[in-house]
Amino acid sequence: TAPAHDGASLMSDSKVVGTITSGDWGHRVGLNLAYGFVDPAQSATGSEMELDLCGTIVKATVIGSSPYDPDFQRMRA
């Protein structure tokens, strides 16, 4: 999947709840990552929404902190 691009809409229940400001592939974490502005009601960690990615609707999830942990300080399953 291509990375999110600036200006892409974030949606929940078919309503626009945010906008992507930048996005790219996270090579170290193997995920598409994006920054954006989101309605505060949708901003809790784990909140799921949809992203219009060049006409294809894909899932997006709010993450709480950086997924990159170079010193392996966080426990992993």
| C-alpha separations of 32 from 59, 63, 74 in Å | 11, 12, 21
Q: Can you list the domains of the chain with their CATH numbers?
A: 9-61 (2.40.30.110)
Residues 10, 18 contacting (CB under 8 angstroms): yes
Main-chain phi, psi angles of 14, to 5 degrees: 65, 15
- How much of the chain exceeds pLDDT 90, in percent? 34
Main-chain phi, psi angles of 42, to 5 degrees: -105, 5
The pLDDT value recorded for residue 16 is 93
pLDDT in tens, 53-71: 878 888 999 987 766 666 7
Cα Rg of the chain (Å, integer): 13
Main-chain phi, psi angles of 20, to 5 degrees: -75, 135
Q: Who has greater pLDDT, 14 or 73? A: 14
The pLDDT value recorded for residue 69 is 65
Which pTM does this prediction carry? 0.74
Of the listed ranges 10-14, 21-25, 37-41, 70-74, the one predicted with least confidence: 70-74
